[in-house]
Amino acid sequence: MKKNIHPDYRPVVYRDAEAGLAFLTRSTARTERSIEWEDGNTYPLVDVQISSASHPFYTGKARVLDSAGQVEKFRRRYSATS
């Protein structure tokens, strides 16, 4: 790899405030905030609005659209009667 062209890849804490979830991973994300983690070290902090802990698909709160019912409603309304 060429030197001095790649972003700094370091440990970063991502926090989903709505779900109360925080996890430590590695990232190139830049931030001015920091947090003291469970191991006693201080890491950069990135706040996210949604994560797997709060996303409707992963939490089971996703709405299922009744597309089949809408199609039948359309056919009843606009079908040609012979």
82 pLDDT above the threshold of 60: no
% of the chain residues with pLDDT over 70: 78
Model-level pTM?
0.63
% of the chain residues with pLDDT over 90: 40
Tokens of 38: 């469970």
Q: Pseudo-torsion of CA 22, 38, 30, 33, nearest 10°?
A: 90
Q: What is the pLDDT of residues 25-48, one digit of tens each?
A: 999 999 999 999 999 999 999 998
How many CA within 13 A on the CB side of residue 78? 6
CB within 8 Å of 10: residues ≥ 6 apart: 26, 27, 28, 44
The pLDDT value given to residue 9: 92
